[in-house]
């Protein structure tokens, strides 16, 4: 894979110095990286003298002839939107105003085609430039803002595929149109191109583009690439030393990276000015992001003496007001700055005892209840007390009306509705919404498998489910889902008129606790499958592969964790395939406790998840947390969720390949134990899930 930089620069700016600093940081952590520099012909002519120090750091230079009549900014955008056409092979594009902190080659193994990070680590709803972005998109006739995401184009992974060429061609075409409307920035066109080709796009974790000037602090400790936003740095005196104007001017004067700068590059996450403050809070940030603040800052830089005098005058006015107002002033200020109105949130908990949604609720609810809000829990009071012993002071509405029922749709009790409608928001962790709710509704749709695989349900069953899907979509203010794949399928069937927010599902806390506290178990000759015998779980293919393995005298057992009852007659074919193996070969466990599940997974030689369709897919994550290798089908959602995990993929539905991959893992000693690094171990946690949900419910 190549690491691609783009440089459009002249001797009067410091873009070259930013590039030199960034590529030096890359070489320090990856001395054998293949670095490509793409520039226009005018820039290449300026790379002499003090600006020639890059040559030993770059493997290849590609020059492009930009159209006549463009200014430097336009040329840089023209080259940037053309890079896929000009560079052959997979690449990671890296903006010049970045610092590489560690080896970044793992991105090549994530199994994605096209990936980038959220701009300012923020959904559009909470983006500091939300109104400006939407106004600009509407001016251009773009609709990417409807997706509630705005992607930053500073770090882009791009495989060399027909799909990525199509995205880049469209980006270039849209940028030319945008530039004709006097909007030279590339991100509006970039986001529209992604919006039109969302199935090929993967949102990267913020550690790949840690934008430290904007909401990047949570990603800094694990950041692989620090993006310091040069234009912002020069305006606001960022405390990040490696992005300071002083450092870059020093490089410009000498044409090289001196020893002091090299020392900082060895630990760039710590390269911060000692005199700095962390500033947060919506009110404070609203002020900082305002034009009024820009004017004050400009005044401080341009006319420092006048600024100090004006500030002194304001201080005296405030002291005078305090004096004449007494304690009333102080109480008002305290109330404005330090109190936050609590929200009352009603959560539908009627499925607390179910196997799927119930687990999700039992993990999310304790974390939600810890927030400084008031909660009303709708559900069977007895089941709530059994499944959630600590209600954290939440009120309970005792309700035994079944979700997805006629009673819910037409006869939901008015007394319950009255209590619900007194709250500020209603959250359903599935797609069932009682009739009569007037407050904002938020729902989670975990997947939309039924229209994608109609063969697993009857025609009346499909019609009923689609009714509830459409109803949830119609009445919800916002919808959560558990993966980008699920989001794309929901948008495909239900449209893009409502914001759909990805709040990834997560590993249950008991798996992490077991990993940390349980003694190491001896691995047994067993292969584990977790799920049911429905077609989309792919058990049929695993049984075919297992039969071939038995003919080759592979001694392992196949443990199918799940129940073999309550299935339609069309599923009986799979049951018949299991019978010849006998209990010593393959067997269903039936319902098992969490403790038994942990034991089976931690003792297994391998987990196989041959699914044809999933919304997220927990078992591979659960297995790897316990040190067990995972072999999974190469369906899109697994590529998204497990792209940077040490899983082995096989072609979905290919029984022969599945058999061969199982043999490879079972008899490869190096593959027999998985030890996840911290960044993967805690990549998907319910703390992160509930944080996303709560931000919307109580925002």
Closest CA to 542 of 559, 525, 522: 559
Domain covering 2-270 in this structure, CATH number = 3.90.550.10
Which 8-state DSSP code applies to residue 560? E
Structure tokens at 374: 């008031």
3-state secondary structure of 606: strand
The highest-level CATH class for domain 509-681 is alpha beta
Annotate 136-149 with three-state secondary structure: HHHHHCCCHHHHCC
Question: Quick one: pLDDT at residue 667?
Answer: 87
pTM above 0.95, yes or no: no
Contact call for residues 157 and 92 (beta carbons, < 8 A): yes
User: Which are the contacts of 521, defined by CB distance < 8 A and separation ≥ 6?
Assistant: 599, 602, 603
The highest-level CATH class for domain 344-506+688-697 is alpha beta
Strand ordering across the sheet containing 344-348: 395-398, 374-379, 344-348, 425-428, 441-444, 478-481, 500-502
Structure tokens at 135: 């106004």
| Identical fold, 2-270 and 509-681 | no
3-state secondary structure of 678: helix
The angle subtended at Cα 287 by Cα 285 and Cα 293, nearest 5°, is 125
H or E element that contains 294? helix 291-302
Pair type for strands 91-94 and 2-7: parallel
Question: Quick one: pLDDT at residue 287?
Answer: 72
Question: Quick one: pLDDT at residue 310?
Answer: 81
What backbone phi and psi angles, to 5 degrees, belong to 640?
-70, -50
Annotate 641-672 with three-state secondary structure: HHCCCCCEEECCCCHHHHHHHHHHHHCCHHHC
Structure tokens at 155: 């770090």
pLDDT in tens, 490-540: 999 999 999 999 999 999 989 988 888 877 778 899 999 998 888 899 999
What per-residue string of b and e applies to 345-369 under the rule 16 or more CB within 10 Å gives b?
Answer: bbbbbbbbbeeebbbbbbbbbbbbb
User: Which are the contacts of 255, defined by CB distance < 8 A and separation ≥ 6?
Assistant: 49, 50, 51, 52, 53
H or E element that contains 461? helix 459-475
Q: Which residue has the tokens 């193996």?
A: 581
Burial class (CB in 10 A: 0-12, 13-18, 19+), 470: middle
Question: Quick one: pLDDT at residue 278?
Answer: 60
Residue ranges of the domains in the chain? 2-270, 285-338, 344-506+688-697, 509-681
Pair type for strands 526-530 and 606-609: parallel
Contact call for residues 450 and 466 (beta carbons, < 8 A): yes
Question: Quick one: pLDDT at residue 230?
Answer: 58
Question: Quick one: pLDDT at residue 283?
Answer: 62
Which residues in the chain come in under a pLDDT of 50? 232-236, 327-340, 566-570
pLDDT in tens, 318-354: 777 766 655 443 443 333 333 346 799 999 999 998 8
The angle subtended at Cα 75 by Cα 71 and Cα 76, nearest 5°, is 120
């Amino acid at each position: 894979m190549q690491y691609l930089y783009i440089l459009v620069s002249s001797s009067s700016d410091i873009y070259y110095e930013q590039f030199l600093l960034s590529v030096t940081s890359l070489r320090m952590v990856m001395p054998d990286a293949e670095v490509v520099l793409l520039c226009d012909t005018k820039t290449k002519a300026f790379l002499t003298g003090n600006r020639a120090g890059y040559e030993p750091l770059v493997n290849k230079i590609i020059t492009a002839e930009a159209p006549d009549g463009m200014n430097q900014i336009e040329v840089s955008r023209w080259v940037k939107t053309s890079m896929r056409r000009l560079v052959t092979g997979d690449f990671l594009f890296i903006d010049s105003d970045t610092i590489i902190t560690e080896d970044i080659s793992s991105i090549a193994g994530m199994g994605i085609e096209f990936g980038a990070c959220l701009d300012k680590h923020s959904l559009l709803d909470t983006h500091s430039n939300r109104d400006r972005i939407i106004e600009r998109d509407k001016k251009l006739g773009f609709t990417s803002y409807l997706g509630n995401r705005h992607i930053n184009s500073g770090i882009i992974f791009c495989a060399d595929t027909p799909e990525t060429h199509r995205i880049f061609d469209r980006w270039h075409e849209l940028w030319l149109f945008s530039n004709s409307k006097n909007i030279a920035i590339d991100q509006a066109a970039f986001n529209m191109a992604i919006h039109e080709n969302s199935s090929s796009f993967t949102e990267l974790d913020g550690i790949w583009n840690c934008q430290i000037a904007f909401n990047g602090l949570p990603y800094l400790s694990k950041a692989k690439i620090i993006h310091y936003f040069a234009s912002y740095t020069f305006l606001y005196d960022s405390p990040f030393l490696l992005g300071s104007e002083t450092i870059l001017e020093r490089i410009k004067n000498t044409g090289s990276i001196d020893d002091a700068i090299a020392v900082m590059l060895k630990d760039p996450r710590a390269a911060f000015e000692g005199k700095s403050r962390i500033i947060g809070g919506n009110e404070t940030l609203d002020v900082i992001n305002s034009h009024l603040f820009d004017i004050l800052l400009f005044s401080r830089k341009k006319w420092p003496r006048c600024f100090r005098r004006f500030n002194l005058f304001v201080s005296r006015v405030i002291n005078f007001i305090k004096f004449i107002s007494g304690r009333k002033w102080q109480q008002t200020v305290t109330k404005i700055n330090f109190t936050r109105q609590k929200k009352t949130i009603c959560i539908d908990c009627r499925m607390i005892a179910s196997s799927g949604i119930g687990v999700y609720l039992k993990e999310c609810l304790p974390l939600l209840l810890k927030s400084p809000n008031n909660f009303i829990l709708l559900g069977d009071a007895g089941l709530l007390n059994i499944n959630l012993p600590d209600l954290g002071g939440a009120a309970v509405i005792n309700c035994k009306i079944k979700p997805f029922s006629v009673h819910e749709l037409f006869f939901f009790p008015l007394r319950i509705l009255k209590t619900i409608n007194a709250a500020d928001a209603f959250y359903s962790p599935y797609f069932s919404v009682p009739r009569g709710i007037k407050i904002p509704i938020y729902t989670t749709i975990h997947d939309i498998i039924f229209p994608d695989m109609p063969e697993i349900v009857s025609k009346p069953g499909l019609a009923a489910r689609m009714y509830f899907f459409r109803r949830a979509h119609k009445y919800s203010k916002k919808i959560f889902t558990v993966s980008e794949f699920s989001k794309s399928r929901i948008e495909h069937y239900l449209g893009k008129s409502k914001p759909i927010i990805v709040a990834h599902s997560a590993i249950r806390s008991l798996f992490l606790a077991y990993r940390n506290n349980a003694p190491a178990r001896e691995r047994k000759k067993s292969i584990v499958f977790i799920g049911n015998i429905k077609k989309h779980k792919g058990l049929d293919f695993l049984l075919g592969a297992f039969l071939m393995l038995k003919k080759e005298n592979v001694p392992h057992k196949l443990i199918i964790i799940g129940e073999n009852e309550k299935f339609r007659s069309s599923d009986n074919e799979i049951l018949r395939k299991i019978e010849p193996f006998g209990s010593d070969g393959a067997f269903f466990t039936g319902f098992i406790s969490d403790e038994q599940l942990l034991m089976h997974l931690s003792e297994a030689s391998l987990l196989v998840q041959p699914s044809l369709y999933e919304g997220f897919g927990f078992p591979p994550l659960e297995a790897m947390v316990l040190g067990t290798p995972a072999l999974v089908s190469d369906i899109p959602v697994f590529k998204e969720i497990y792209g940077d995990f040490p899983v082995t993929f096989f072609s979905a539905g290919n029984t022969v390949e599945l058999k061969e991959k199982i043999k490879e893992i079972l008899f490869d000693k190096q593959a027999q134990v998985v030890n996840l690094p911290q960044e993967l171990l805690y990549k998907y946690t319910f703390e992160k899930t509930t944080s996303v949900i709560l931000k919307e419910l109580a925002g």
